[in-house]
């Protein structure tokens, strides 16, 4: 077995244990493999071990990698799903709209409108999450919790998008309890949108929360999608 396959097995086991502790059905939490900085071979090694969903931060790196994966193994490439989890600048919206299945980092209506307009008609609507900033300063990405519902109400009206949930990248916290406290704030934003009764929330079911270092606390807080990079692929060789 490759290291990546072994790591994947361990991460899946961590998820299963965390689900059991949280008295949640295993299978309620999906795994997104964050492959930023790693190459097409690493993606294919994970795909060979059953992983389907991959997360990328840098749009150009991601698009080149998708092409490389397709060239190496066209059949397997067909089955993969790509999630944009990095910040989206206006000049990158077209690449995101044309190449990704999901975008987790919506925090401005203008970007959402561009993604919707640029989503090719032949593709399913882009699945999106609203990124919420619960613990950072104004310089950090994500909308303030108080603004999330307003953005959600606007995003659900865009025909090229389907609003699937909420995402956050909390600052590293020292222990489980501290992580859980922040994650619960994100969960509260998710719950408030879900309970708002806004039209267009029929598929609002995703809480994108938790990484290698805090996935247990995220699952305890209700995460349905953990984004794990180093736990699967190893340490990144340049900062990301």
Ligand X SMILES: *Cc1c(COP(=O)(O)O)cnc(C)c1O
Interface residues with ligand X (CB under 6 A) are 34, 36, 57, 85, 169, 211-213, 227-231, 240
In the complex, the smallest distance separating the C-beta of residue 169 from ligand X, rounded to whole angstroms, is: 5
Closest to 132 (Cα-Cα) out of 183, 59, 96, 89: 183
Contacts of 23 (CB under 8 A, 6+ apart): none
For residues 137 and 62, give the distance between their C-alpha atoms in angstroms, rounded to a whole number: 28
Select 92 or 227, whichever has its Cβ closest to ligand X: 227
Closest to 55 (Cα-Cα) out of 96, 92, 26: 96
In the complex, the smallest distance separating the C-beta of residue 70 from ligand X, rounded to whole angstroms, is: 23
In the complex, the smallest distance separating the C-beta of residue 157 from ligand X, rounded to whole angstroms, is: 26
In the complex, the smallest distance separating the C-beta of residue 151 from ligand X, rounded to whole angstroms, is: 18
Closest to 143 (Cα-Cα) out of 128, 157, 156, 132: 132
Select 22 or 167, whichever has its Cβ closest to ligand X: 167
Select 147 or 230, whichever has its Cβ closest to ligand X: 230
In the complex, the smallest distance separating the C-beta of residue 7 from ligand X, rounded to whole angstroms, is: 11
Closest-by-Cβ residue to ligand X is: 229
For residues 224 and 156, give the distance between their C-alpha atoms in angstroms, rounded to a whole number: 20
In the complex, the smallest distance separating the C-beta of residue 71 from ligand X, rounded to whole angstroms, is: 25
Token pair recorded at residue 104 = 């987790």
How far CA 176 is from CA of 42, 182, 202, 233, in Å, comes to 30, 10, 32, 23
Token pair recorded at residue 153 = 């109400």
Select 132 or 211, whichever has its Cβ closest to ligand X: 211
In the complex, the smallest distance separating the C-beta of residue 6 from ligand X, rounded to whole angstroms, is: 16
Token pair recorded at residue 102 = 């999901």
Give yes or no for a contact between 233 and 42, defined as CB atoms under 8 angstroms apart. Answer: yes
Select 32 or 201, whichever has its Cβ closest to ligand X: 32
First to last CA, the chain: 28
Select 13 or 71, whichever has its Cβ closest to ligand X: 13
Select 157 or 212, whichever has its Cβ closest to ligand X: 212
């Amino acid at each position: 077995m490759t290291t990546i396959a072994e790591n994947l097995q361990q991460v899946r086991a961590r998820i299963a244990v965390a689900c059991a502790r949280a008295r949640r059905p295993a299978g309620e939490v999906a795994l997104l493999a964050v492959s930023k900085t790693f190459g097409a071979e690493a993606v294919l090694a994970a795909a060979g071990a059953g992983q389907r969903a991959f997360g990328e931060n840098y749009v150009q790196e991601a698009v080149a990698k998708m092409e490389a994966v397709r060239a190496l193994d066209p059949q397997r490439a067909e089955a993969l799903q790509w999630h944009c989890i990095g910040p989206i600048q206006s000049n990158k919206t077209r690449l995101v709209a044309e190449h990704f299945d999901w975008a987790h980092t919506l925090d401005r209506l203008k970007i959402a409108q561009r993604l919707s307009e640029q989503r090719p008609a032949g593709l399913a609507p882009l699945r999106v999450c609203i990124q919420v900033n619960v613990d950072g300063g104004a310089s950090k990405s994500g909308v303030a919790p108080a603004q999330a519902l307003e953005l959600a109400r606007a995003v659900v009206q865009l025909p090229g998008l389907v609003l699937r949930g909420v995402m956050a990248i909390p600052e590293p916290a020292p222990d489980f309890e501290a992580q859980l406290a922040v994650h619960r704030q994100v969960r509260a934003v998710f719950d408030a949108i879900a309970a708002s009764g806004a039209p267009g929330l029929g598929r609002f079911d995703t809480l994108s929360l938790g990484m290698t270092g805090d996935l247990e606390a995220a699952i305890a807080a209700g995460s349905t999608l953990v984004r794990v990079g180093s736990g699967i692929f190893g340490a990144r060789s340049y900062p990301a």
